[in-house]
Structure formats: C-alpha cells, structure tokens
Structure 1
Amino acid sequence: MTQLTTSQIWQQIKNNTQSLPHMRELFAQNPQRFEQMSLSECGLMLDYSKNRVDADTLSLLFKLAEQANLSDKISAMFNGNKINNTEQRAVLHTALRAPATTSINLDGNNIVDEVQQTLSKMAEFVEQVQSGAWLGYTGKSITDIVSIGIGGSFLGPKIVTQALRPYWSKQLNCHFVANVDATSICEKLKGLNAETTLFVMSSKSFGTQETLTNTLSAKDWFINQGGSQQDIAKHFVAVTSNVAKATEFGMDANNIFPMWDWVGGRYSLWSAIGLPIALLIGMDNFKALLAGAYDMDKHFASAPLAQNMPVIMGMLSVLYGNFHNAQSHVILTYDHYLRGLPAYFQQLDMESNGKSVTLNGTDVDYSTGPVIWGGEGTNGQHAYHQLLHQGTALIPADFIMPIQSHNPLGEHHNQLASNCFGQTQALMQGRTYEEALSELANTSLPDEQKQLIAKHKVMEGNKPSNTLLMDKLTPTTLGALIALYEHRTFVQGAIWDINSFDQWGVELGKVLGNDVLERIGAASDANELDASSNALINLFRSGKI
C-alpha cells in the first residue's frame, strides 16, 4: 500500500463518497448550489455543481491537494525546477506565453529573451508570407502551407487552426500531414501547386521517422513538379534544434526556428511549433492565443485551491477515477470549430498521466490517467450518449460551448444550447420508474406493456458533468481553455505523485518499430522474434495473405 491510499484524508474521502445522496437531493437541499459551485476566470465560466460532491467532499479534496503539496509543486514548475526527474528537465511551456518583461532563469539564462527572439523571427516570416512578399521559385506568392509533424508537433497546430477557422487569412490554406501511411501525404498533395506551396517541417531532432519520411517524400514531389535543390530554401522551413541536418537538407539557416528540451511535444503549440497557426491567423491573433494561456497561468499560480479552476477540475477527476472507479472521461464540444479538442485533450492527458509508478519508482496501487474520448455535440447524442445515460459505467463528462456563435443562423444556436444544457440536466436527474410510468399513463398500451417500457426508460441519473462556457470562441478564450486542461492534467499527476512529462511507453514503440522495419527489409525470413511477429512480418513481405 502506498502512503497516498493509506492516508487519513484518502479514507475520509472514501467514506464521504459512500454517504452522499443523489444529486437530485443535493440540489433540492441547497438552492444556492450553482452560485457556490461555479466560477468565472480568464473568459471562461465553469459550472461544477452537477458533480457528486457537497461542501464536505470539496473540502476533503482540497485537503488531499494540500497533503500532496500541490501549491509547492505548482511553484516548482513555474520556477523552472527540473520536475521531469527521469530526463532531468525543467517543464517550462508556461515561459512560451510569458510577457517580454518576465524573467525566468534556467541554467543561468533568461529563457524569456530566447522566446521573444523567436516570436520576433516568426512575426517577420508570417508578415512576408501573409503579405505575398515571400515568393516561390517562379516568383509567385504562397497560397498553401503543408505542415509536417507527428504527435504534439502535429496535433496542437492542427486542432488550433481548425478551432480558429474564422480568423484565417483569406490568401492561405493549410494541410496537415502526420501519418507515415503514404495515402495521407499523397491525398494532401493532390491539387497543390509546387510553385505556391510552403512546407513547414517540425521535428526536434530532424530525424523523427514519420516526419522525416514525409518530408523526404514532399521534397521528391517538389522536385518532380519542377523545383530544384536550390529552390528548397524558398519552399521548406523547419522547426528543429538540429540546424546542421536542416541546412544539409537544403533549408536556409535563416528559415530554421528553434525548439527547446524544456518544452514537451504535447505542450509545444505555443512555441515555433505553432508557426502554421501564426501563418493562418496572423501574429496578432497568435499572440492573443498566448495571452489567453498566460491569463490562465496567472490564475493557476496564484488562486487559492478552492477558487482555482484547474485545481477544481483536476481534483474532481481524481475523485471519479480513484473513488468511483471511473475508467474514462468524455469531452463534448458544442461548437463545430472545437470538434478536434477531444483528440487534443486525449493526447495531453493520456500521454502525460498514463503511468504506473511514482516519481521514486514505486508501483502505484490506485488508478491513474483515465481514457479520454469524446466528440461533437449534438452528433454524439444520437450515438454514444445512450451509454452515458443508461450504461453501467460511470463516465464523467465535460460540456464545452460558446454562448455566441461565429455563424448565427436562425434557431441553430438556441437549439444547440438547449441540447447542451438538456443533456447535463438529464445526466444529473435521470428518470425514475414512477416518472416513466406516469409519462405512459395516457397511452393506449396495456398496463403490462406500460410497466415493461417504463423499466426500459428508467435512467439512474447522478451522472457527473462540468459545463464550460465562454462568450465567444476567440484566440484568447481558446488559449485559456487549452491552458486550463494543461494545468488540470498537472494537478492529477501531482496528486498521484507521477511524472506527467516523460513518455517512455512512446519510446519503446519507436525502438521496436525500427527493429521491425529492419527485419521487413532484410534479405531472409524474420524468425528471431515471437511467433506472431515473425509470421506477420513474413506475410507482409510476401505481399499477400
């Protein structure tokens, strides 16, 4: 047993959760529940009143956070302590959105100066491309950007540009490539003109297998379309720390943007990894994105635990995972532009907290990161919401919606909001057998059939949810929203005493994948692995099953 699960606070939370009444009763007992369990910060409003908690539960959760020294751990991250203990690295993605006047010292250097220099370089490049001054090898301006990356170097920029579609430059379009499946890049390149296409390659090492393979294929396509090796500098730029490899590839050293090892991939969209974002929405809007995240950083670093939005959301997640056996958490976005957020938060949370040992290497005896999934409202209501309402698994839900639409049209947004709020209400209150039977009272069905159908219409309710609202989806509110989930993820890891900033499980897959690749290309049969792997490799090499 770990110290966490044997602590007095842990046992008190366990006892409290077993004694709480249904949320219907909690609302009936306390008419001020919404006012007491909601807060507005950084352009976001969080309603967490539809959770299986009362004042005592919340008090115990915050005591658990204090026991874990959460406030000290937050300060350690912001101060640049090397909290990524397995790689001996600081975790300073927050420095990427800090104002120029801030001083954050790491190994004797004020890294904010480096960040600001990079932002200035990005601004100059973005202005050239957006204004049409940046010309391709035949003297034409850029019309299409192809962003090549993988993991955080791909997903963050893709989701943010998708979310901020109303702010795109009218002169540019963007295409994202990550999958090493040739179909992905081939489909993206169809219809593009090499004379007006700019490739942004993002890889810290300039050697990530998928990214390098796709970049080499893009280079071949470019040359086959009429470009030359000398023209590469006009059509390829890189975000990397390996300047030598990038220049050897043909990129101008002036068109290489830096990366730092104190920024993890899934936290990197705020850096030059976000260059595709800046190219699409402009540097002013990109800086507004950073400003929104910085506002949330300030709130997270300074607000008392009980009034701290990321802390509240993080502790509620701990509650459901460790005391209610919730194995997953669903993100439901009621805005078409935000449809990609569940996938982004999936990587953020699951790559960070999918761990099974504590910081000192002790096996955990409690659940850590949940499975994060979700989709777009109202689509999910006609699919997996059935499981949320009547399935046997407890699945906490986050509902996210802007109050104002970028595309007001008739009753669309009112209907969207009514569905969003109606779903949270239904999850909370459910439907009793008596209520279901009453609804069938005036039908012509026989009594026996009414009783049967009523049983099928019963919903337990008491299903927890958070609702996050914003006035409108803007670069600033999006920045705050993403930073909120970054810090929520940190809070969970701090309570569980795990390293949320390494990803050795990802590394193992890369190593074994490279070994398999060599065997696929070998001259003889692969027979040195397990029976299944040997057979699969040999079947693949044969070209048929």
Structure 2
Amino acid sequence: MLENNQVVESQHLNLDYSFQGLTLEDIRAFAAKKLPDNFDELRLQLLKGEFVNQTENKCVTHTLCRSFHSVVRAGNGKNRFNEIVRLLRSGKWLGATGKPITDVVNIGVGGSDLGSMMSSFALKEFADDASLHNLKVHFVSSMDGGQLYAVLPIVDPETTLFIIASKSFTTTDTFANVNTVKSWIEHTLSEDQWLTRHVIGVSANNQGMTDFGIPPAQQLSFGDTVGGRYSIWSAIGLPIALTIGSHQFGRMLDGAQQMDEHFAYLPLEQNIPMLMAVIGAYNRESRQINNLAILPYDGRLRYMPSYLQQLDMESNGKQTNFRNEPIDYPTGPIIWGGFGPNGQHAFFQHLHQGYDEFTADFIAILHRNAPGFDFGVQTSLREQQRLAVANCLAHRRLMWFGDAQPEDPRHHYRGQRPNNLIFMDELTPTSFGALLAAYEHKVFTQGLMWQINSFDQPGVELGKKVAVDILAAIDHIDIDGQPEGTFDASTDHIIRRM
C-alpha cells in the first residue's frame, strides 16, 4: 500500500481512493462504528458457504461455485458442463437434421442474462484457440420480444441451440420468449426434435426442466442457495464458457477465488472490497450522497454499470433490517453510469457543473494487447488505450480538485466530487473475475453495516402479481369494451385501448 497516495494493490486489482478526502484514520473510525463486532466471523461464513439468508433460511453458496471443487471446475470432458462446451465449440454438436450448431441463443433475464452477457462481451478476445468452429452466442432477455425480433432473422432453426436459463424455471419474461421460439421452429422442426437436439436447460429446478421435456443430459443445474445476481460463477455462466472456452472461464473463476482470499484475511487498510464498502457507506451516510456513477474507461466493460446496478440495488435497496423491522436510515445508493469516453460527450457536463452531488468509481485498464492484428494496428490500439487512460485520469482529477476561474463563472469546475479509481494493468479473465468478486464483497459488507439482508429481493413481487391481474383484464375485455377488473381510471383507459 502506498500510504501517501492512498493506493491499495493486490495481485490483479488495485484501488486508489486518494480523491475521497478521507484519511485512513477517518475510514478506520467509521468502520469501527459501523461494522458488526463479529464481521471477521461473518465474512468467513460467506466464503465457506455457511452465511444464512434469513428470509429463506438457506445458506448463501455462490462463492463455492468458484472453488476448485465446484461442478464447473472439473477437468475437461469429466463433467456435463465441460462436455457441452467442448461439443458446441468444436462443431461436433449436431442439430436434428445433422448440421453443426453454429449459433447459441441464451434466453434469460436478470441474473440469468446480465452477468453472462457482460462477461462474454468483455472477454471474447480471450477465446481459446482450440476451436476453429465459429460459434456465435446471442442474448435475449426482454419480455416484449424486441431482442428476439432482432435475433431470429439472423439464425437458422436447424443450426441454432437455445439455452433456457432460469433459476426457478418459471420466469414469465423468459417463457414468453421461449413460447415465441417454439412457434418459430415449428415449420422446420418438430417439438421433439427441438427439445432433444436444440435446447439446454440451466436451472435450480430440475423437475421443471424435466417436465418441460429437456433430456437429462441437456440439463445443467445449480443450487437454489445461489442467488440469481450472484450466479455467474455457476452453470448460468455457460454462455461465457461457450464464448471463451472452459479453460478461460476457469481463469475467471480463479481471479474471483483469489479475491475471496484477499477479502477473507487482509486487514481493512489492505482490503480492497472492505475499503470500497466503508468509503461508500461513509459517502451515503455522512455526506448524504445518494448515488454512485460507474465509469469504465475500456469499451470491453461497457455493460458493467448495468450489471453492478442489479448486483447492488437489488441486494441493498431495502426498507427493513434482517429482522424484518422497518428502518429509517439510508441503505444502498442508486447505481448508474456508462462507458466513460462516451459519457464525456453526454452526461459529464452535469457531473462537472451540475447541481447534484454524486460519487464515482472510475475503472481503468492501463495496458492493452491486441492479439489477431498486425504490429501497426496493435501499436495504434495501444495508443488509443493510453488516450482513454489519460482522459480517465483527467476527469477524475477535475471532479475532485475542480478548476476555479472566478472571472468567468461559466468555466468554473466546482470539484469536491469524491471518487475512486479502480484499475488493473491488463484486462484478463483472471483480473476480470477479481473485479466482479470485489464488488460482490463490497455489497455484502455494506449489507452488514446497514443490518439488512443482501440476499433477498421482495421489492418486485407485488408488481409481478399486479401484472398478472392486468394481463387477465386485457385478455378478457367484455362486449362493452370494459375490462373485467377495475384498477384506476388511467390503467383502465390503457387496457381498453389494448
């Protein structure tokens, strides 16, 4: 740790909190006040799969998915996960009409979509060279069918395999897309052909997959103690492995496990997730700043703000403590953001000169290799990476120090916007895994500080129920154009328009 610059380094990930305006003594004092007395015991429980989600009375086990004994970590060809990856990436998985599968469409939503989509995009350049088969992986999540509308015209029923990814195997959004796919394939394949050669199920509900008709050999399961937004390390990560190969997916798990070790045993001043958590909670409570901007300065990480939005806001956006008692203090912040270089031409104006307070995590990759290109292009891409890093450093500096010009208020940068710089020397599957695990542990630590359950999500259940009622009303308009149920004047009006 470089004390004077407030930089903490680990094997794959580094944190610079120099622009938070806090001394280490400030951070220690706040941590002593907010962390539970048994914090050391609780974090070890998490890493051993023994921490209890009290709402469901189940242990939280996502960290076990990246252990060396997990299902997806067995040697190649020695388990169903790796065998499926091998067959599809080698072109040896044949569809019902004997043609090799060329496209895979992952149908899922939330934790069954965001993490896999983000990671596949970020890491696709690291794909193993073992396969010369050009396997394309697509992602569909939207219940309105918009993504499916775009994907179906560019794939062929005879050469496309669908992953149905749903922890419960009952998700309405997911099966709305699945039902449309079934209509799409019926002119080319029978339902039996489709199920036996063109579908893989990934779920915690094995019976649900069996009842749907998916053969046992094409079912990948994970424990119902793995939360959806924490499930990227489980069989839900199949699209990542299909994109980059089992070996590289294993490296991503290695990076996460190494961050687990870092989080488990290092003291506060050397512990990246703990520092992120304590500083973030200080900004939320003592400074009363209600939002955190995620600003990655590498295009490969452009989907990280959306992923972290779900991870943090679904975990810590709570109004009761873990004893189910109402609370009257702020918990998780609003998570938002975007790809930094593009944000400079969009919302950075507000960040530098707008009225609202915010904090930010800048994420930077210092160096970039460019495999697959000639020397001239590689050199140019490295120069572009330096340009991105220079802009990242410039904007985070201005957000903290400002640039006062009293003679011209229009050019005044007020500064004093607290921010972190999270950086790594290179983006690799290993450093990427460490980055995601660090944010997971930050969220867990803040949940303990606020005495809330970070592993339940009751806040959307009522909306789902009301949606079912409204859909029933839409489907059963009477002869006079009146919906069966009456909701309110505005909702009833739209139902009649439907």
Secondary structure, in 3 states, of the residue corresponding to 1:404? coil
In 2: Cα distance, 1:477 partner to 1:73 partner: 25
1:425 aligns with: 397
Q: Which 10-residue stretch deviates more, 381-390 or 497-506? A: 381-390
In 2: Cα distance, 1:493 partner to 1:66 partner: 10
CA contact under 8 A between 1:82 and 1:90: conserved in structure 2? yes
Q: 1:220 to 1:409 in 2, by over 3 A?
A: farther
Shift of 1:192: 0.7
Q: 1:220 to 1:531 in 2, by over 3 A?
A: same
1:320 aligns with: 283
Q: Map 1:253-268 to 2 at 5 A.
A: 253-268=216-231
Secondary structure, in 3 states, of the residue corresponding to 1:311? helix
CA contact under 8 A between 2:72 and 2:81: conserved in structure 1? no
Match of 1:155 among 101, 114, 123: 114
Shift of 1:119: 8.2
Report the residue type matching 2:494 in the other structure: L
Residues 1:398 and 2:356 aligned together? no
Residues 1:196 and 2:159 aligned together? yes
Report the residue type matching 1:262 in the other structure: T
Shift of 1:52: 1.9
CA contact under 8 A between 1:424 and 1:465: conserved in structure 2? yes
In 1: Cα distance, 2:395 partner to 2:209 partner: 50
Percentage identity across paired residues of the two chains? 38
Match of 2:65 among 71, 96, 99: 96
Secondary structure, in 3 states, of the residue corresponding to 1:412? helix
2:52 aligns with: 83
Q: 1:72 to 1:392 in 2, by over 3 A?
A: farther
Report the residue type matching 1:505 in the other structure: G
CA contact under 8 A between 1:156 and 1:344: conserved in structure 2? yes
Cα displacement string for residues 25-61 of structure 1 (whole angstroms, at most 9, x for unaligned residues): xxxxxx9621xx1111130111111112023312212
Q: Map 1:212-223 to 2 at 5 A.
A: 212-223=175-186
Cα displacement string for residues 317-346 of structure 1 (whole angstroms, at most 9, x for unaligned residues): 101111111111001111111000000000
1:485 aligns with: 439
Secondary structure, in 3 states, of the residue corresponding to 2:328? coil
Q: Which 10-residue stretch deviates more, 399-408 or 233-242? A: 399-408
Shift of 1:302: 1.1
Q: 1:115 to 1:281 in 2, by over 3 A?
A: closer
Match of 1:172 among 109, 132, 135: 135
In 2: Cα distance, 1:244 partner to 1:135 partner: 26
In 2: Cα distance, 1:68 partner to 1:366 partner: 20
Cα displacement string for residues 154-197 of structure 1 (whole angstroms, at most 9, x for unaligned residues): 11100000111202466111110011112321211112111111
Residues 1:501 and 2:455 aligned together? yes
Residues 1:374 and 2:337 aligned together? yes
Secondary structure, in 3 states, of the residue corresponding to 2:113? helix
CA contact under 8 A between 2:72 and 2:234: conserved in structure 1? no
Q: Map 1:24-63 to 2 at 5 A.
A: 33-34=4-5, 37-63=6-32
Task: Give the length in aligned residue pairs.
Answer: 479
Q: Map 1:128-147 to 2 at 5 A.
A: 128-147=87-106
CA contact under 8 A between 1:84 and 1:501: conserved in structure 2? yes
Residues 1:412 and 2:366 aligned together? no
Residues 1:456 and 2:414 aligned together? no
CA contact under 8 A between 2:293 and 2:336: conserved in structure 1? yes
CA contact under 8 A between 1:332 and 1:376: conserved in structure 2? yes
In 1: Cα distance, 2:157 partner to 2:369 partner: 33
In 1: Cα distance, 2:27 partner to 2:51 partner: 31
Q: 1:376 to 1:134 in 2, by over 3 A?
A: same
Cα displacement string for residues 414-466 of structure 1 (whole angstroms, at most 9, x for unaligned residues): 2111101111111111112xxx26xxxxxxxxxxxxx3xx1222222121111
Residues 1:240 and 2:194 aligned together? no
Secondary structure, in 3 states, of the residue corresponding to 1:517? helix
In 2: Cα distance, 1:113 partner to 1:141 partner: 26
CA contact under 8 A between 1:62 and 1:306: conserved in structure 2? no
Shift of 1:285: 0.6
Computed over aligned residues only, the root mean square deviation of the Cα atoms, in angstroms, reads 2.0
CA contact under 8 A between 1:327 and 1:371: conserved in structure 2? yes
CA contact under 8 A between 1:161 and 1:277: conserved in structure 2? yes
CA contact under 8 A between 2:49 and 2:64: conserved in structure 1? no
Residues 1:207 and 2:179 aligned together? no
1:532 aligns with: 490
Q: Which 10-residue stretch deviates more, 333-342 or 531-540? A: 531-540
CA contact under 8 A between 2:293 and 2:335: conserved in structure 1? yes
Q: Which 10-residue stretch deviates more, 370-379 or 339-348? A: 370-379
Cα displacement string for residues 208-229 of structure 1 (whole angstroms, at most 9, x for unaligned residues): 1111121121122122234552
Q: 1:293 to 1:324 in 2, by over 3 A?
A: same
Q: Computing the radius of gyration over CA atoms, which structure comes out larger, 1 or 2?
A: 1
1:250 aligns with: 213
In 1: Cα distance, 2:208 partner to 2:290 partner: 43
CA contact under 8 A between 1:350 and 1:372: conserved in structure 2? yes
Secondary structure, in 3 states, of the residue corresponding to 1:398? strand
- What TM-score results when the alignment is normalised by the length of structure 2? 0.92
- What TM-score results when the alignment is normalised by the length of structure 1? 0.84
Residues 1:302 and 2:265 aligned together? yes
2:374 aligns with: none
Cα displacement string for residues 290-332 of structure 1 (whole angstroms, at most 9, x for unaligned residues): 1110001111111112221100001111011111111110011
Unmatched runs of 5 consecutive residues or more in structure 1: 1-30, 101-111, 438-450, 541-545
1:124 aligns with: 83
1:107 aligns with: none
CA contact under 8 A between 1:324 and 1:394: conserved in structure 2? no
Report the residue type matching 1:272 in the other structure: A
In 2: Cα distance, 1:226 partner to 1:218 partner: 11
Secondary structure, in 3 states, of the residue corresponding to 2:396? helix
Residues 1:475 and 2:433 aligned together? no
CA contact under 8 A between 2:73 and 2:250: conserved in structure 1? no
CA contact under 8 A between 2:94 and 2:100: conserved in structure 1? yes
CA contact under 8 A between 1:42 and 1:292: conserved in structure 2? no
Q: Which 10-residue stretch deviates more, 71-80 or 388-397? A: 71-80
Shift of 1:79: 3.5
In 2: Cα distance, 1:352 partner to 1:398 partner: 19
Report the residue type matching 2:243 in the other structure: L
Secondary structure, in 3 states, of the residue corresponding to 1:124? helix
1:448 aligns with: none
CA contact under 8 A between 1:48 and 1:467: conserved in structure 2? yes
